[in-house]
Structure 1
Amino acid sequence: MAVTKMLKLICLEMKKHKMFGYIKAAFIANIIMILLACIIPIIERIEGEEYFINFDMMFMMINTMVRGTFIIFSGVLIAKLIIDEYKKKTMQLLFIYPQKRHKFILAKLVIVSLFTFLSVVLSNFIVSAAFYGINSIAHLITDQLTLEFILEQAITVLFSAVSLAGIGLIPLYFGMIKKSVPATIVSAILLSSVIGSNFAGFSLFNVVAIPVTLAAIGFIFAYLSFRNIENVDVL
């Protein structure tokens, strides 16, 4: 019964905030990432450089682009679903309904984390598959895929998706301080620049302890955001 009610709340929130628009934006972002993945090897070939010469480096770059993109998406969703409603006082209307306050916030956070998780998984698959298909025709790189390599990449993508589901909640803390939409989005952009950085194949995200710690921090911030909400005046 509790799960059914939560699913109904999630569906109502998704309908209320027109989540299809964000899905469409994610699809457009995928197209841009596909174009970038194809253009970068061409530019390197013209300039005589050889950095993205195999699928390992290409998929690493794609995963980095996806991570950076959807951390920002998480910040935008948090700003729209939570911070903006506090700022405009519309959160009060939700709290009038015969449901515990924390369930409304939890439903919103589930939407943000689930959207981030699915977007990272699907975007990595879509962009990587599209690049592979284009590469089979254009021969941008001559590397060959193996089953072992594909399985390793699948594990990497799943780890990224789970981590980002938590990391993407960190901007919530900065947004809730003064109920500021700009602070939420700016913090997401800064977080994206750190997590999405890649120096000669090295990324902070490659140090497993860093994304795990950041994900834990994100989930803790999410918990703190609604822990005492039953006793807090939204005004």
Structure 2
Amino acid sequence: MTKLGKLMMLEWRKLKQKMIMGELIIYWGILMFLPIFFIKMVSTDFGESYSTIIQLMISIQMGFVLFGASLINQVVIDEYKNKTISLAFGYPISRKKLVTAKVLFISLFVFCCTIVSFLLAGITTYLLDHFFQIIDGQPTIADLTTYFSKMIGHSFMITLISLIPLYFFGVWKRATFPTVLCALFLMQFQNFSYLLNIDINPDMVNVGLCLLGAASVYLSIKMVDKVGDL
């Protein structure tokens, strides 16, 4: 195993595993049944076809941006507040490598959990529709191809967006509550445009948010020597 791999395993051992797994089960449980809930309780328009419900399911998975914030709080902010990161910075390993391991750990965790969520939501929605005839028509090969391709792309996108609070609220300010608020805002960002009647291109918004996430990661690693002891 590489040194980065060992550092990532160390991050997993330091994590409050029972709390994180409990939180993760809640996310999966809610997101599994949320598409059908929207059809039954919010609008039957979502059940017009599988292509319609797929778009809803994709947007629902943005909930994992909040899970990313939870990991930032535990993996980065809590260590600064508890001073345990000072001990890690005393190891004969560069700070940049330590932060890189933390970023990779958070990224891989969010990405894999989002993939699993997509799969669980897709299977649950199909099975409930199979037994209760909630969605009009049947899923086509094109629908399945779209879903699986977007599952990969959007899981990557959600991972990057979840890292936007990392530098400013995590490495620099070490602020737990603002990190969560930032994640909540990012989750609902595109909905605000509808509420305010602002016409924006969703794809361009997602690209912009992904670039912000990438910039946050870059700054977190690049600037850790300057802000790490503040």
What is the match of residue 145 of structure 1? 139
Determine which of 2, 13, 16 is the counterpart of 2:14. 16
Determine which of 220, 225, 228 is the counterpart of 2:215. 220
Contact 1:100 1:230 in 2 (8 A): no
The one-character-per-residue Cα deviations of 1:45-66 (angstroms, maximum 9, x if unpaired) are: 8xxx534321122122122111
User: What percentage of residue pairs aligned between the two structures are identical?
Assistant: 26
Deviation at 1:191, TM superposition (A): 1.0
What is the match of residue 188 of structure 1? 183
C-alpha distance in structure 1 between counterparts of 2:55 and 2:97, whole Å: 37
Q: How does 1:206-217 map to 2 (within 5 A)?
A: 207-217=202-212
Contact 2:166 2:216 in 1 (8 A): yes
What is the match of residue 56 of structure 2? 61
Residues 1:127 and 2:121 aligned together: yes
TM-score by length of 1: 0.86
Give every structure 1 segment of 4 or more consecutive aligned residues whose post-TM-superposition deviation is greater than 6 Å: none
What is the match of residue 30 of structure 1? 28
Determine which of 87, 92, 104 is the counterpart of 1:93. 87
User: How has the CA–CA distance of structure 1 residues 167 and 101 changed in structure 2, closer, same or farther, with 3 Å as cutoff?
Assistant: same
Residues 1:104 and 2:102 aligned together: no
Contact 1:109 1:222 in 2 (8 A): yes
Deviation at 1:230, TM superposition (A): 3.5
Contact 2:68 2:110 in 1 (8 A): yes
**Which consecutive residues of structure 1, in runs of 5 or more, have no partner in the other structure?**
none
Contact 1:205 1:211 in 2 (8 A): no
Determine which of 70, 75, 82 is the counterpart of 2:76. 82
Task: Give me the CA root mean square deviation.
Answer: 2.6
TM-score by length of 2: 0.87
**Which consecutive residues of structure 2, in runs of 5 or more, have no partner in the other structure?**
none
C-alpha distance in structure 1 between counterparts of 2:38 and 2:202, whole Å: 25
Q: For residue 5 of structure 2, what is the amino acid of its counterpart?
A: L
Contact 2:33 2:121 in 1 (8 A): no
The one-character-per-residue Cα deviations of 1:34-88 (angstroms, maximum 9, x if unpaired) are: 232223322358xxx5343211221221221111x11001111111111222233
Q: For residue 24 of structure 2, what is the amino acid of its counterpart?
A: A
Deviation at 1:109, TM superposition (A): 0.8
Deviation at 1:122, TM superposition (A): 1.5
C-alpha distance in structure 1 between counterparts of 2:190 and 2:105, whole Å: 22
User: In the comparison of the two structures, how many residue pairs are matched?
Assistant: 227
Deviation at 1:33, TM superposition (A): 2.1
Q: For residue 183 of structure 1, what is the amino acid of its counterpart?
A: P
C-alpha distance in structure 2 between counterparts of 1:206 and 1:77, whole Å: 29
User: How has the CA–CA distance of structure 1 residues 141 and 228 changed in structure 2, closer, same or farther, with 3 Å as cutoff?
Assistant: closer
C-alpha distance in structure 2 between counterparts of 1:218 and 1:22, whole Å: 22
C-alpha distance in structure 2 between counterparts of 1:100 and 1:173, whole Å: 18
User: How has the CA–CA distance of structure 1 residues 206 and 149 changed in structure 2, closer, same or farther, with 3 Å as cutoff?
Assistant: farther
Deviation at 1:11, TM superposition (A): 0.4
